[in-house]
Chain A
Amino acid sequence: MLQIGNGLIIGSIYALVALGINVIWSIADVPDFSQGSIFVVSAYIGYFTVTWVKLPFVLALLAGMCVGSLMAFTFERFLYRRWRGAGRVQLLCAIALFFLWSNVVNALWTAKAKIFPAYLKGSLLGFSYMRLVVVAVAVILFVLVYIFIMKTKIGKAIRAASQESEAAQVLGININTVNSVVFMLGGALSGAAGVLVSPLYAIFPTMGDLPLLKALVVVILGGFGTVGGVLICGLGLGVLEALGAGYLSSAYQHGYAFIILIVVLTFLPKGLFGKM
């Protein structure tokens, strides 16, 4: 029970990062590795907001989301946009950015792990309040994104553009705007995820590597599905990993995602919910 619960918590983090990557991948045709860097940078921003500026956690979360948005917007505006349609160069650029920021963070804040000050002491049913807050915020963000994509005009344009790149223009929305919005959305989600995990685990420069990889697995497994599909895949992966670590071997906890990915892609090249 506890394992499933912890799986759901980490799974909701995977799902948050995956949701942003999913939307970006389906619009801009690039698996945006730089979301991993955004995750890390936002975690540090959240940490400094709380420890140096001494603001409450909610504002730290907002700060992380803003910084994440801004980073993703900048990457898209000045780099990815130049190579729209040339997926290979975009992917190389995404990897370069990920590589770059991993090392920048390492240089700025050293490899030594930082520990978030404890918040909200106490627990419910064996889960600390903080963990429950993480899940609650993740769910709220998912609902907000769902409403945004389904109900707003720009959301409709995003959905149209993910089917057909010229379709957004029909709705009277510039494809550049759609790209900017999508990257900012992705950045905000990864940023939120980064700040949310910080109180649960330590903050260190490579903390984004595994969530990024897992999120990419979730996106591929989901086969560019719906918002709900991403959530289910994310939570499912989190739970499977937690169970695998509990009952099989914890040494390979982070290898399970890869094994699942290979098995699924071998038999279902288009993912679980998939249409490519």
Chain B
Amino acid sequence: MFGASRVAIAVSIIILILIPQLASNYVIYVVILAMLYAILTASYDLLTGYTGPLSFCHAAFYGLGAYTSAILTLRTGMSFWLAFPITGVWVFLFAAAVGYPALKIRGHYFAVTTFFFGHFVYLFLLNSRKLTNGPLGLRGIRPPDSILGIDFSSLNASYYLVLFFGVLIVVFLHLFVKSRIGRALVSIRENEDLAESIGINTSFYKVLAFSISAGLAGMAGSLFAHFFRLLHPSTFAWMISEMIVIMALVGGLGTLIGPIIGAGLVTFFLELVRPAPELRFILLSIMLILVLLFEPKGLMGIFWRIRGEK
């Protein structure tokens, strides 16, 4: 990494730390949302950007995580601090069980299957009234219990909580993709046959990437559940999966930082067009088509072009 990008990252983190002291509650709220989306796009990037398989069900794991965490704390009185890691592990294992047969299917078949899966999870959340309270939504979720005297029902504390775990997850993903495991994933993306011929167990690594990506989305869901304290299945419908895909593509897949920037920009863009809600997704899909037409590598592609690389 060159020095300039380190400085940029340090400055962004300082700004993120200072935001609650400087900005209005509305801005804090939007930034929390953006950070949750950033966790989703960064984890999505691990699978689709680094490893290759195109997935359209990331919001399903986000939803599974949110509902798991909410139900665990509501039904058993479990503390968020325990439910949060349990949720991550559970969604990881669940994804491994789904991903193992599904990832044997290559190419478009896998992508279409993930689309179905996303819809299936949505139907499940909507129809399992006893468990999820169906279309009425799940209410009364408690904020994380206070530790060290910090009361997490306040907006500022929630903000720092999401920021803390967001940074932790992104650092983890960064270390992961820069390691030899990350190189194995990229080899699979570049050429699956060749990757196998050099001894990479491609199905293992694909399931691993799928499950980690899902587990992290589940953890984002848990954070969401205990911050908003109200869940509805429509928050996790296929449109949201599409939105995550668009955010990641706008930023630039396979770069980690790109999808994070994409999540931030698209979230703020969506806030700008809030007065015309019916236009939001229309503009978003046009944005995707424009990216595909003019710069499939997204903002990072434009950035590289300006710097004269590649």
Contacts and interface: CB of A to CB of B under 8 A. Distances in A.
Direct contact between A and B judged by beta carbons closer than 8 A: yes
Contacts of A258: 116-117, 119-120
B269 interface: no
A29 B115 CA distance: 17
B296 A254 contact: no
Interface in B18-52: none
A216 B54 contact: no
A92 B54 contact: yes
A100 B115 contact: no
Interface residues of A, number: 40
B296 to A, nearest CB: 6
Contacts of B239: 99, 102
Given A89-B296, A217-B116, A258-B116, A96 B289 contact: yes
A261 interface: yes
A171 interface: no
B306 interface: no
Mostly helix, strand, loop or mixed at chain B's interface?
A: helix
A265 B107 CA distance: 14
B293 A82 contact: yes
Interface residues of B, number: 37
A213 B245 contact: no
Given A99-B239, A107-B282, A265 B292 contact: no
A6 B234 CA distance: 29
Interface in A66-113: 79, 82-83, 87-89, 91-93, 95-97, 99-100, 102-104, 106-107
Interface of B: 54, 56, 101-102, 104-105, 107-109, 111-113, 115-117, 119-120, 123-124, 127, 239, 242, 245-246, 249, 278-279, 281-282, 284-286, 288-289, 292-293, 296
Interface of A: 25, 29-31, 33, 79, 82-83, 87-89, 91-93, 95-97, 99-100, 102-104, 106-107, 209, 213, 216-217, 220, 251-252, 254-255, 257-258, 261-262, 265-266, 269
